[in-house]
Structure 1
């Protein structure tokens, strides 16, 4: 069975994330660590391993790219790509044949398209299975709502566009309105036109401003930023938010400012049948969908790269693989809110 490696990086709180590798780093200011990663030859790091109960050897590794989230989006692109390329080389030297791009390593590499090819190496950005789980989570969250208004932030991105096509292509999903929000007007117009054609019974709006989500019953966040883009003033009373982003693009202050709003962490799968020996910032038995896609491609022997925009075809293949390896998990996980189980989610009937 091919082995895999999954790339992660420090997110908004660099100190706390790097402390998962070496605990004393929690005492070092994040800015100092960012300076060190920028100016010193900090190597890629192995955070931990993943094993299967039915296989004696390590199935894969979680590997840290020594670049912070803010640096991913603001530093010189060639430097960032160089650090990611070195980490992919490190993963290949460990023995990985499938490499998955976690968090911002996917968008800054053009969904993996900007990485150089390596013989015997298959790259995935994990976006197809993320889209698959996101669409399933949307169906769970709108169950019981009366023709809900769903808004998708980051609708033209690799995950977002696939999610929109899945939602628009589901005749059993009883939507009243669908609002697509993105910055790229041309792609947005094309995506909206496709959604209108697929679902003439649904009112489809398109917008470039985040304020367009104010009337939505459910807001799906699929943006790529280091900032909290979605804030209290953007949401209607009683709104539900499904946040698929890493680093998180939903303001944590919503917990206290808007107790009427339900925030659900998206893109999470159950992997209770696997032994993930790495602190990836989630409770035991949980994993990000992009990590799961990396695992599934290795377990399934998939050698076709999954880079660029997520496709419906690859999303369906990953779902078939998830069904085949269902004894290990890969189903939609019990919902979390800001990384923790929440009594409010139980009351909302989401478990």
Structure 2
């Protein structure tokens, strides 16, 4: 949206939904969605054309589908760009994994996970372990990617993750799900969750493991004011997706429910068109601290917020 004191500028706002992660997922759905809807109303009243659902506001609103009937403002869950950036992070990390690594995608049937799995299968051979709660949905997803030539196994048991060289976390949980016993020696973890599903105690319990913060985009061309618990010039990919839609003049809803391959491709095209502002994968961090010099360098953690972003 524009402001009268900044003519011709695209201006966005972060609107906080005052609920904890646990409240977002456990309070009556109608109550939670009412609070999120009120925040979207505020974004509309401030002049926003598109609003992005950050952190657990997306799963709490069924990936934004709860607002599909709204015609007063566009809504996106940010998951298309998150899937695309997560694939780029996997590709960058694969060089340190050795030959024929096993990649576990935890939360594989979710909105980001299903899109990421299909993006990976379209562009890479290899071995995948798909982990989620619903075995029927897992088998359907595995069948899809096997047709692309990928070797895919499924599991509903986190213990099986201990076989993986790279673990990608894409779950919708307010708690840390990944524990020391779930990790192979020397494994890499890409934690793409907000709130995060890794505990900083892993840094002392498992110094052999590298934990990488996922879903982070560098946008040096933007003036980010206030705190979103990230280093300067960094944004979550869901926020970056909202920015890109606003910059392109997008009208109406974008990503609702499961992210689709064509949406990931479209948002990557928009990122390319606006690359003078950034919108590329951020340098790797671990618990908010820049990783310098390799896997031995890990540090400790930023705060978390439940937000939606409006532009």
The DSSP-based 3-state class of the residue aligned with 1:277 is coil
CA contact (8 A) 1:222 1:244 kept: yes
- Cα distance, 1:116 vs structure 2: 5.7
1:101–1:158 CA distance, 2 compared to 1 (3 A): same
Instruction: Specify the alignment match of 2:306 in structure 1.
Output: none
1:104 maps to which of 40, 56, 81: 56
Any idea what the Cα deviations from partners look like across 1:100-134, whole Å, max 9, x if unmatched? 00000000101100126333411000000000000
Any idea what the Cα deviations from partners look like across 1:312-335, whole Å, max 9, x if unmatched? 101111000000000111000001
Instruction: Specify the alignment match of 2:145 in structure 1.
Output: 195
Normalised to the residue count of structure 2, the TM-score between the two structures is 0.90
**Distance in structure 2 (CA, Å) of the matches to 1:304 and 1:135:** 26
Which residues of structure 1 form unaligned runs of 5+?
5-48
The two structures, once aligned, show a CA RMSD in angstroms of 1.9
Which structure has more RCO (C-alpha within 8 Å, separation ≥ 6)? 2
CA contact (8 A) 1:62 1:278 kept: no
**Distance in structure 2 (CA, Å) of the matches to 1:74 and 1:104:** 11
Is 2:147 the partner of 1:147?
no
**Distance in structure 1 (CA, Å) of the matches to 2:252 and 2:104:** 32
Normalised to the residue count of structure 1, the TM-score between the two structures is 0.80
Instruction: Specify the alignment match of 1:241 in structure 2.
Output: 189
**Distance in structure 1 (CA, Å) of the matches to 2:249 and 2:296:** 41
- Greater Cα shift, 228-237 or 294-303: 294-303
Instruction: Specify the alignment match of 1:31 in structure 2.
Output: none
**Distance in structure 2 (CA, Å) of the matches to 1:284 and 1:254:** 26
- Cα distance, 1:346 vs structure 2: 7.0
Instruction: Specify the alignment match of 1:264 in structure 2.
Output: 212
1:320–1:347 CA distance, 2 compared to 1 (3 A): farther
**Distance in structure 1 (CA, Å) of the matches to 2:12 and 2:60:** 23
**Distance in structure 2 (CA, Å) of the matches to 1:166 and 1:313:** 10
Which residues of structure 2 form unaligned runs of 5+?
298-311
Matches of residues 1-351 of structure 1 in structure 2 within 5 Å? 3=1, 56-57=8-9, 59-115=11-67, 117-144=69-96, 145-170=98-123, 173-175=124-126, 177-199=127-149, 202-305=150-253, 306-343=255-292, 345=294
CA contact (8 A) 1:216 1:235 kept: yes
**Distance in structure 2 (CA, Å) of the matches to 1:155 and 1:295:** 26
- Cα distance, 1:174 vs structure 2: 4.8
**Distance in structure 1 (CA, Å) of the matches to 2:275 and 2:30:** 40
